[in-house]
Amino acid sequence: MKLSMIIIFCSLILGVSSQRWLSFLKEAGQGAKDMVRAYSDMREANYKNSDKYFHARGNYDAAQRGPGGAWAAKVIR
């Protein structure tokens, strides 16, 4: 609910173009996919104390996608 209100507020008040939102949402989806992939790799590796590496890798990969990916990494972590 909060996210949808923020999106509506930004698009109406700030005049953000729809193309920009689509790009942001695409990057967020790809960033979330990066985080899920790192998590599944961590589960598959099954090494003790390796979770910090996989979480850092997932955050880095997601943040490299752009602002949407960085947002997804921040929300998911």
Residue 32, in any domain of the structure: yes
Q: What is the CATH number of the domain that holds 34?
A: 1.10.132.110
Burial 41-72 (b: 16+ CB within 10 A, else e): ebeeeeeeeeeeebbebbbebbbebbebbbbb
Residue 15, in any domain of the structure: no
User: Is the pTM of the predicted complex or chain greater than 0.85?
Assistant: no
Residue 58, in any domain of the structure: yes
**Residue 25, pLDDT score:** 84
Higher pLDDT, 1 or 74: 74
Residue 39, in any domain of the structure: yes
- Domain span at 33: 23-76
Task: Identify the band that residue 71 occupies on the pLDDT scale cut at 50, 70 and 90.
Answer: confident
Residue 69, in any domain of the structure: yes
Higher pLDDT, 11 or 24: 24
**How many domains in the chain?**
1
In this predicted model, what pLDDT tens digit does every residue of 17-57 receive, in sequence order? 667 777 888 888 999 999 999 999 999 999 888 889 999 99
